[in-house]
Every structure is written in structure tokens, then in C-alpha cells.
Amino acid sequence: MSEPEILAEARALIERGERVLAVERLMAALPTLSAGFRRRGHTLAGLAFYFEGRYADALGMFQAAAEGSDVPEDWFNIAMAQLKVGDLKGARQNWQRVFELSHAHQDPPQTSSFFEKKAMFARGLLAAGGADELGLDLVERQLMGFYTTYHITETQFWAMRGVPAFEEVLELTREYYRALGRSAPDWEALCDRIASEVDEPGREFCNQLRGSF
């Protein structure tokens, strides 16, 4: 079955910044859509609200889209909206659901990779004042492990694999060290360890950030 025109129209409106109009048209069309397309409509409405800064409304739409869903991105949308409304406990719980579903379904429909989601969730936790060991683990161990294991930090190499840029992850790790009260010597030791395990461009960036705590 081909996708209803309203969904393509809504995407175009959202991209042009006409988000309120996109929501109005989606809400009018939702009752006429089949269940699968209705879920997509709720997701688009949620994105429109999210980009408008109406996070509680976005959360409601994302929750409607995720009802009965085993698609990790549906639950990721909920977790990110929960961070915005201050429900850190709920966000962490739904992140765990994203984690489990991503491992259970290796090729789910998605607009960002599981690795990109790790960075986005860690950054969202930090911005929401919820920096914790979970967020630090996502960047310091789970993501940093790509670069130290393969000794490659070239951005394009990792972008092709859906992995965030080395520089982004290292800077985000520094922000977590600051937020969690780690010391400058702790940070310098981490930079030294990472520098010993990556390529020359990576070592240069580590040295650049080493003294910027």
C-alpha cells in the first residue's frame, strides 16, 4: 500500500518550519489512516511539536506512536521527550528499552543509528541536568571503544558506519567528567590513555583537549 500523501506533505511542512500547520493537517487526517500509517502520523506530529519546543505535546504523540511497537526509535523519541519535560527516571527506563530492542532487532527502521542515539541520549541527559554514570559509560566506554579498538579516528570512516565523530565523543566525555566532578588529573590520564591507542590525528586532538579541563 502506498503511503498517504498527507505524510509526505507533513514532512515537507516540517522541513520548511511550518510545524503548526503540519500538526493541524495531520490531526485532521489521522482518523482516516490505517493503523500503520496512523503511527507514522503520530510520530511526525511528535517531531513537529518537539522542534517547536512543545515537549509535553511531543511526548503524547510519541507515546501514541509507540503503543504496541517494538521499533527502538519509537521508544527513543519518548525518552528524548521525557528528558525535555524533566522525567529523567522515565527517560532512563525507556533508554533501556531502546537498548534491548536494538539488540533484539538488528535492522529496525531508523533515522539515526544506535550509536548516534547513544551520543544523543548522553547529551540529552547532560543538558537535562541528569549526568550520571550511565551517560558517561555510553561515551567513555561504549563509543570511545570504537576508536581505541580500531585505532582510527577519521570522521568519514566512522560516519559511513553510523558512529559519531571522535571529536564529538571526546568533547562530550570531557563535559561528563566536569559534570560528575572528576579531577583535571583524571581527565589528563584519560586523554593520555586514549592518545596511546588511536592514530596521529586522534592523538593531536587528545593533546589539544588534555589541558582544557
Give the pLDDT confidence of 58-104 residue by residue, as tens digits: 999 999 999 999 999 999 999 999 999 999 999 999 999 999 998 88
Average confidence (pLDDT) over 154-171: 97
Please tell me the distance from the alpha carbon of residue 178 to that of residue 174, in angstroms, as a whole number.
6
pLDDT recorded at residue 105? 78
pLDDT higher than threshold 90 for residue 107: no
pLDDT recorded at residue 103? 85
Q: Under 8 Å CB-to-CB from 73, ≥6 apart: which residues?
A: 98, 108, 109, 110, 111, 112, 117
The cell numbers describing 70, all together, are 517494538
pLDDT recorded at residue 110? 77
The pTM assigned to this predicted structure is 0.93
Average confidence (pLDDT) over 165-175: 98
Q: Phi first, then psi: give them for residue 196, nearest 5 degrees.
A: -75, -10
Q: Under 8 Å CB-to-CB from 163, ≥6 apart: which residues?
A: 113, 115, 116, 143, 146
Q: Under 8 Å CB-to-CB from 151, ≥6 apart: which residues?
A: 197, 198, 199
CA-based diameter of the chain, in Å? 61
Average confidence (pLDDT) over 192-199: 98
Runs of H (alpha helix) within the chain: 5-15, 19-29, 35-51, 55-66, 72-85, 88-104, 114-127, 133-137, 144-150, 155-159, 166-179, 184-195, 200-210
pLDDT higher than threshold 90 for residue 38: yes
Please tell me the distance from the alpha carbon of residue 170 to that of residue 136, in angstroms, as a whole number.
11
Domain boundaries, the chain: 114-213
pLDDT higher than threshold 90 for residue 198: yes
Burial label, 203 (beta-carbon count in 10 A; 0-12, 13-18, 19+):
middle
pLDDT higher than threshold 70 for residue 109: no
pLDDT recorded at residue 57? 98
pLDDT higher than threshold 90 for residue 7: yes
What is the overall mean pLDDT for the chain? Answer: 95
Nearest to 81 by CA among 52, 114, 112, 113: 52
Average confidence (pLDDT) over 39-47: 96
pLDDT recorded at residue 104? 85
pLDDT band for 45, please (50, 70, 90 cuts): very high
